[in-house]
C-alpha cells in the first residue's frame, strides 16, 4: 500500500500564549489606536518598531497595515511618480506589481535564472532601455541573489533598490539582514509569512528624509514624536505641510501579538530550516527533478520549498502533481497557464505593458512550490518528500 499524508498545508501554529495575553491586555485598556496612549506610555506599536529596528540594525522602522502597503509607501517615499517605470522580478507575487500600479508606476519585468534569482544581464538591459530609477527587488520564495554583486551593479546603473522581504524576514546574506542592502526594506506579517498578525507590514531604512515622509504618509498626523524608531522631530519640520496622509497604520492589538513572535523568530527560523533540509534531502537525486541551489552565504528561512520539472510537458507536470494530491501532498504549479489561487507569473498582470521573456518562461513553467508550515513534524517532512519523489519518478519514467 502506498502511504498518504493527512496534514494541512495551510495550518499555521497557534498564536503563542504570551502574545494572546498581551493582546487581551490591550483590549482591556481600550487603547488600540497607536497614538492613543496613557501619559508616559510607549505604545505597543512604537515598541514593536523599536524592536524590529534593533533586530535588523536599521536606523528607522515603521509598522504599517500590510506588506503591500509598506512597498507602495517605500515607492512613494523614494519619489516614484505617475508614469515612472519601476523594475521588478518576473517571478513574484501579485501585490508587488500591484504596489507599483497603485502609485501610477509602470512595472517593467526583469527575467529570472533557473536558480529563481534575478538575471543580472537582463536587469542591466532593462534598466538602460526603460530609464527606470528604481528596482523593486522581490526575494521571491526566500531566494536571495548575490547581494553585494547586485548592489554594485545597481550603483553602476544608478538604481535605487527597494527590497521586498515578505519571504526573507529573519534571513541574511553573509551576516547582513535581508532588507538592509537597499535604500528600504519591506516586510509582511500576514498569516502565511514568518510572524503572524493576520495582516501587517514593516518598512525599514536609514534615510531620515525618506522615512519621515513614510511616517507622515502612514497617517501619523503631527504625532510622530511618540515614535521610538522614527527620524528626529526636526526632520519632520521640512516636510510636514507637504506630505499627504495616506492612512495605513499598524494598531496596538496586532503589535502586541507580534512582539513575542518577533523575539522568538530565530528559534522558528531554525525549525523551518530543519524541515526544509529534511524535504530537500528526501528529494535529492530524484531523476527529472531539479532542486534550487542555496549558496553558503545565503542564510535563508525555509518556510517553503521549490523545485523545477524542467522541460516536462504540461500533461506530465499535471500528472505528477495530481499523483501527489491524491496522496495528500499539496503542490502548487506556479507555471500553470491559468492562475489558480494566487498568481506569480508576470503575464497574469495585464495592466502592465506586455513583455516577452522566453528564458524566464521556460523556468516559470517548470516551478513547483510547496509550503512548509511549522505544524509539520520532521517525520511528516520525510514522508512528504518520499511521496513527491515517487510520484515524480512515475511520470519521469512514463
Ligand atoms: C505576501 C507578499 C507580499 C505582500 O504582503 P501583504 O502583507 O499580503 O500585503 C509582497 N511580496 C510577496 C513576495 C509576498 O509573498
For residue 10, how far is its CA from the centre of ligand 1 (angstroms)? Answer: 16
The domain boundary, picked from 248, 263, 278, lies at 263
Residue range 38-87, pLDDT digits in tens: 999 999 999 999 999 999 999 999 999 999 999 999 999 999 999 999 99
Q: 6 in a domain, yes or no? A: no
Note whether 250 and 335 are same-domain residues: no
Query: Looking at the domain assignment, is residue 10 inside a domain?
Result: no
pLDDT bin (cut points 50, 70, 90) of residue 227 is very high
pLDDT over 70 (residue 200): yes
3 state SS of 134? strand
Atom of ligand 1 nearest to the CA of 140: 13
pLDDT, residue 398, reads 63
- Give the residue from 110, 62, 118, 106 showing the smallest Cα distance to 80: 106
Task: Specify whether 67 is located in the same domain as 175.
Answer: yes
For residue 59, the surrounding DSSP H or E stretch is none
**Shared domain check, 185 and 75:** yes
CATH number at residue 344: 3.90.1150.10
In this prediction, residues 5-30 reach a mean pLDDT of 96
Residue 5 forms part of a structural domain? no
Residue 107 lies in a domain: yes
| Domain at 100, CATH number | 3.40.640.10
Domain boundary among 222, 246, 263: 263
For residue 269, being part of any structural domain is answered with yes
Asked if the structure places residue 363 within a domain, the reply is: yes
Same domain? For 232 and 366 the reply is no
CA of 268 to the centre of ligand 1 (A): 19
- Whether 9 is covered by a domain: the verdict is no
**Residue 196 confidence class, pLDDT cut points 50, 70, 90:** very high
Per DSSP, the chain holds a count of helices (H) and strands (E) of 13, 14
Which residue CA neighbors atom 1 of ligand 1 most closely?
166
Average pLDDT over residues 179-205: 98
- 226 and 37 Cβ atoms separated by less than 8 Å: yes
Report the C-alpha gap between 142 and 166 in whole angstroms: 8
Same domain for 274 and 150: no
- Kindly provide the residue ranges of all beta strands, DSSP E only, lying in the chain, ordered along the sequence: 60-64, 85-89, 106-110, 134-138, 160-164, 172-173, 176-177, 184-188, 201-205, 290-291, 298-299, 304-308, 332-333, 367-371
225 and 364 housed in the same domain: no
> Would you state the cell numbers that stand for residue 21, as one nine-digit string?
495575553
Q: Which of 115, 101, 145 lies closest to 351 in space, CA to CA?
A: 101
CA distance 265 to 172: 13
> Which ligand 1 atom sits nearest the alpha carbon of residue 193?
1
Average confidence (pLDDT) over 215-233: 97
The whole-number pLDDT of residue 335 equals 80
Centroid of ligand 1 to alpha carbon of 113 (angstroms): 21
Q: What is the tens place of the pLDDT at every residue in 334-363? A: 888 777 777 677 888 889 988 999 889 999
Q: What are phi and psi of 115, to 5 degrees?
A: -90, 10
Are residues 288 and 163 located together in one domain of the fold? no
Chain-wide mean pLDDT for the chain?
Answer: 96
The answer to whether residues 259 and 276 belong to one domain is no
Last residue of a domain, one of 232, 263, 294: 263
| Best probe residue, ligand 1, of 188, 201, 254, 371 (max atoms within 8 Å of C-beta) | 188
Across 118-141, average pLDDT: 98
Same domain, 248 and 279: no
What's the domain count of the chain? 2
**Which of 92, 162, 164, 184 gets mutated to test ligand 1 (max ligand atoms within 8 A of its CB)?**
164
Ligand 1 centroid vs 194 CA: distance in angstroms?
Answer: 11
Looking at residues 7-19, what average pLDDT do you find? 94
| Residue 79 exposure: Cα atoms within 13 Å on the Cβ side | 9
Interval between CA 154 and ligand 1 midpoint (Å): 23
Q: What angle do CA 5, 197, 222 make, to 5 degrees?
A: 165
For residue 68, how far is its CA from the centre of ligand 1 (angstroms)? 6
Work out the pLDDT band at 1, boundaries 50, 70, 90: confident
In this predicted structure, what is the pLDDT of residue 298? 98
Same domain, 364 and 217: no
177 falls within a domain:
yes
Same domain, 314 and 246: no
> What pLDDT, in 10s, does the model give residues 145-176?
999 999 999 999 999 999 999 999 999 999 99
Q: Is the pLDDT of residue 118 over 90?
A: yes
Ligand 1 atom with the smallest distance to the CA of 138 is 13
Domain boundaries, position 46: 17-263
pLDDT digits (tens, 9 = 90+) for 317-332: 999 999 999 999 999 9
Looking at the structure, do residues 259 and 269 belong to the same domain, yes or no?
Answer: no
Amino acid at each position: 500500500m502506498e502511504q498518504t499524508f493527512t496534514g494541512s498545508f495551510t495550518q499555521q501554529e497557534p498564536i503563542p500564549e504570551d502574545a494572546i495575553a498581551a493582546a487581551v491586555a490591550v483590549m482591556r485598556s481600550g487603547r488600540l489606536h497607536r497614538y492613543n496612549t496613557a501619559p508616559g506610555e510607549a505604545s505597543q506599536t512604537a515598541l514593536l518598531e523599536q524592536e524590529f529596528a534593533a533586530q535588523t540594525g536599521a536606523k528607522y522602522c515603521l509598522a504599517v497595515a500590510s506588506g503591500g502597503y509598506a512597498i507602495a509607501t517605500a515607492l512613494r517615499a523614494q519619489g516614484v511618480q505617475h508614469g515612472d517605470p519601476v523594475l521588478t522580478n518576473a517571478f513574484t507575487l501579485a501585490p508587488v506589481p500591484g504596489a507599483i500600479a497603485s502609485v501610477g508606476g509602470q512595472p517593467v519585468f526583469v527575467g529570472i535564472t533557473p536558480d529563481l534569482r534575478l538575471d543580472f544581464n537582463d536587469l542591466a538591459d532593462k534598466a538602460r532601455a526603460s530609464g527606470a530609477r528604481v528596482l523593486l527587488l522581490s526575494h521571491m520564495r526566500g531566494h536571495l541573489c548575490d547581494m553585494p554583486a547586485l548592489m554594485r551593479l545597481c550603483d553602476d546603473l544608478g538604481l535605487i533598490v527597494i527590497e521586498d522581504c515578505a519571504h526573507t524576514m529573519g534571513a541574511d546574506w553573509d551576516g547582513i539582514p535581508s532588507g538592509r542592502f537597499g535604500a528600504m526594506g519591506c516586510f509582511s506579517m500576514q498569516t502565511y509569512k514568518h510572524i503572524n498578525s493576520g495582516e501587517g507590514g514593516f518598512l525599514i531604512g536609514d534615510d531620515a528624509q525618506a522615512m519621515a515622509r513614510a511616517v507622515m504618509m502612514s497617517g501619523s498626523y503631527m504625532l510622530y514624536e511618540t515614535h521610538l524608531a522614527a527620524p528626529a522631530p526636526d526632520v519632520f519640520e521640512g516636510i510636514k505641510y507637504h506630505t499627504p496622509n495616506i492612512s495605513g497604520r499598524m494598531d496596538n492589538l496586532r503589535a502586541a501579538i507580534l512582539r513575542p513572535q518577533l523575539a522568538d523568530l530565530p528559534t522558528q527560523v531554525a525549525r523551518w530550516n530543519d524541515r526544509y533540509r529534511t524535504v530537500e534531502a528526501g528529494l535529492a537525486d530524484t531523476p527529472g527533478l531539479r532542486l534550487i541551489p542555496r549558496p553558503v552565504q545565503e542564510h535563508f528561512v525555509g518556510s517553503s520549498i521549490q523545485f523545477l520539472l524542467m522541460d516536462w510537458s504540461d500533461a506530465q507536470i499535471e500528472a505528477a502533481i495530481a499523483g501527489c494530491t491524491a496522496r495528500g501532498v499539496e503542490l502548487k504549479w506556479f507555471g500553470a497557464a491559468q492562475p489558480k489561487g494566487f498568481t506569480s507569473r508576470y503575464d497574469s498582470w495585464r495592466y502592465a505593458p506586455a513583455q516577452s521573456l522566453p528564458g524566464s518562461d521556460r523556468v516559470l513553467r517548470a516551478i513547483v512550490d510547496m509550503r512548509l508550515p511549522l505544524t509539520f513534524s520532521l517525520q511528516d517532512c520525510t514522508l512528504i518528500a518520499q511521496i513527491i519523489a515517487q510520484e515524480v519518478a512515475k511520470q519521469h519514467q512514463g
